[in-house]
Structure 1
Amino acid sequence: MTEAILLVGGKGTRLRPLTVHTPKPMVPAAGVPFLTHQLARARAAGVEHIVMATSYLAEVFEPYFGDGSGLGLRLEYVTEEEPLGTGGAIRNVASRLHAGPDDPVLIFNGDILTGLDIRALVDTHTASGADVSLHLTRVDDPRAYGLVPTDADGRVTAFLEKPQTPEEIVTDQINAGAYVFNRSVIDSIPADRPVSVERETFPGLLASGAHLQGMVDSTYWLDLGTPQAFVRGSADLVLGHAPSPAVPGRRGDRLVLDGARVAPDAKLTGGTVIGAGAEVGAGARVNGSTVLDGAVIAPGADIRDSLIGAGARVGARTVLDGAVIGDGAVIGDDNELRGGIRVWCAAHIPPGAVTFS
């Protein structure tokens, strides 16, 4: 199996302000654009040709990744003129595939960090004779997700909406956002209109008697749709909890990129990333956070589970806990920002021991 489709067209509205000028898959995680980790893992599983289905800020991807040769891949890019949904995006790139009707094509979303055994998913698909195979994962609280029950042989029996009552929770298995399609199934998706694989394609296939196989793999799975999840995912990559061959350095408590300056007594823990050209001042503490390129953390600042945008500045003795600071924003000295607060790009919060939560 040598081909894949990567869905990277979403606007990432839940990640703003990080995605105002940067598409969600290109936001840095563990020192490189998140998409780099997905591409590297696909290549390690034997994928050679990947077609990216792009839409929002589509012009950003190709200048960075080029033809993919730097990662040992052959990359192509197809841009949607209008948003087509997950199914429509898959159908829109079908002409770039070389697979025959019965050949498998890997499809994965550009915002999922996972330890999925990609090769095992493809092998499960082939061995079961399925038309489509889905990566399923188990979650402790499935109420926020659509449920995907399977029979004793792993065959999907239904696609259920988010449960509203405890009685409706018939399984803890959810769609984890990676699939293997037979090429003929891709070609059967309606062209030139929005289509959702979750709401239209999969239920329609099931109703028509198609074979949909589920493979449960819960080694590691995280939807990076929110800033808090994105920060956690980056830290997990640095700590080694989430696998990736693309982390640019040794795994451990911290990852400090080339050109960054960290004071000798600053304390970096919990999978913190300090970007190229960033500065961390004397006595500062940064735990489980991402500090992007060129940002400045002034002396005595205390940063926890936060993301500091490129070129932003956090003032002396300021406390951030679960905060997102946009590119170029300035947070003055002696402030306290907690509870998931987001500061927009280039905003300026003056000094003054102000508490926001």
Structure 2
Amino acid sequence: MTEAILLVGGKGTRLRPLTVHTPKPMVPAAGVPFLTHQLARARAAGVDHIVLATSYLAEVFEPHFGDGSSLGLRLEYVTEEEPLGTGGAIRNVASRLSSAPDDPVLIFNGDILTGLDIPALVRTHETTGADVSLHLTRVTDPRAYGLVPTDGTGRVTAFLEKPQTPEEIVTDQINAGAYVFRRSVIDTIPAGRPVSVERETFPELLSAGAHLQGMVDSTYWLDLGTPAAFVRGSADLVLGRAPSPAVPGRCGDRLILPTATVAADAKLTGGTVVGEGAFVAEGARVFGSTILPGAVIEPGAVITDSLIGTRARVGERAVLTGTVIGDGAVVGADNELREGARIWCDARIPAGAVRFSSDV
């Protein structure tokens, strides 16, 4: 198990404004770019060569990670001229792989936080002789996902689009976004055009009689595609609920990066992260939130389950719940922002402009 492909080309539109200036895998989670956690977990599992399939803001990755030697890895970067989808991206980087035709190649989606036992997935692939093996996870409500039913031996029997009726929910197993491909199978994906591995490659392999094996591992799994999920994932990394060797400090109720400043009476709980150079003033209360580098939280502000962008400022006594504040934005004093609010980069909200409670 030496090679892997990481799919990091998505635009992250559901995460905006977090991804206006930063590709989704580079948004900090638990103090470091989220991609760092994926790279570190792959390295811990025995992977030593990873090809990053990049597209959106591709120029950001290599200056940060370089050749990967600081992580004990050999990294290569391949940039798509036009978006190719998941399958097309895999095929586009195939020439950089050195594996033999029957060797396993790991493939990871770049926006999944998981506790997957990576070596176990590879062992499953090898012992069953599969062409492709998929990490499957069980979810309480599978309606938002494609379903992947398996037989008694774990062999995949179908790929079902998002179910619309209760009768269509034949399993709670979903595609969890990590795969092992037999190297030769990658070369069967059409080159030079967009291909969805989920909607095209896998169903076509199945209909052609290929062996697709599922392995259920539900230890921890979270799709970080929305701001709320991203904030939760970062907090879970800090709290130790999601495993990663890349968390820059001990797991606990909070993570304060070395150059951050936090007032003695400020209260930080719930897996809160305070990034490099950020400042949290006296009397502020921050729960389960991410404060990115250089952001300022003024006295008495109350922030819950939110993400405060780089160099953003939250004014005195402001109350934020489930919100995202873009890079460089300013939320004036005494504002109240509730679930789902997204303040764009460099926007300005005057003091007391947004309220949900009375002034009495």
**Structure 1 and Structure 2 fold alike (TM over 0.5):** yes
Note the C-alpha offset of 1:160.
0.3
| Deviations 1:19-70 (CA, angstroms, capped at 9, x unpaired) | 0010000000000000000000000000000000000000000000000000
Is 1:264 matched with 2:264? yes
| Deviations 1:266-303 (CA, angstroms, capped at 9, x unpaired) | 00000000001101011100000000000000000000
Is 1:71 matched with 2:71? yes
Residue in 2 that maps onto 1:325 = 325
Instruction: Indicate the SS of the match to 2:187.
Output: helix
Q: Does the CA-based 8 Å contact 1:53-1:77 persist in structure 2?
A: yes
Residue in 1 that maps onto 2:110 = 110
Partners of 1:279 and 1:90 lie apart in 2 by: 42
Note the C-alpha offset of 1:356.
6.4
Instruction: Indicate the SS of the match to 1:89.
Output: helix
Instruction: Indicate the SS of the match to 1:355.
Output: coil
Count of paired positions: 357
Gap regions ≥5 residues in structure 2: none
Note the C-alpha offset of 1:339.
1.3
Residue in 1 that maps onto 2:290 = 290
Residue in 1 that maps onto 2:47 = 47
**Percent identity (aligned):** 85
Q: Output the amino acid matched with 1:31.
A: G
Partners of 2:332 and 2:356 lie apart in 1 by: 13
Residue in 2 that maps onto 1:28 = 28
Q: Output the amino acid matched with 2:242.
A: A
Is 1:236 matched with 2:240? no
Partners of 2:118 and 2:311 lie apart in 1 by: 37
Residue in 2 that maps onto 1:133 = 133
Is 1:309 matched with 2:309? yes
Q: Output the amino acid matched with 1:123.
A: R
- Report the TM-score when normalising by structure 1: 0.99
Regions of 4+ moved over 4 Å: none
Task: Trace 1:158-307 onto structure 2 (pairs within 5 A).
Answer: 158-307=158-307
Instruction: Indicate the SS of the match to 1:235.
Output: helix
Instruction: Indicate the SS of the match to 1:18.
Output: coil
- Report the TM-score when normalising by structure 2: 0.98
Q: Output the amino acid matched with 2:350.
A: P
Gap regions ≥5 residues in structure 1: none
Partners of 2:166 and 2:110 lie apart in 1 by: 31
Q: Output the amino acid matched with 2:170.
A: V
Q: Output the amino acid matched with 2:175.
A: N
Q: Does the CA-based 8 Å contact 1:341-1:356 persist in structure 2?
A: no
Tell me how large the CA RMSD over aligned residues is.
Answer: 0.8
Instruction: Indicate the SS of the match to 2:186.
Output: helix
Q: Output the amino acid matched with 1:134.
A: L
| Deviations 1:127-173 (CA, angstroms, capped at 9, x unpaired) | 00000000000000000000000000000000001110001000000
Is 1:148 matched with 2:157? no
Partners of 1:295 and 1:356 lie apart in 2 by: 25
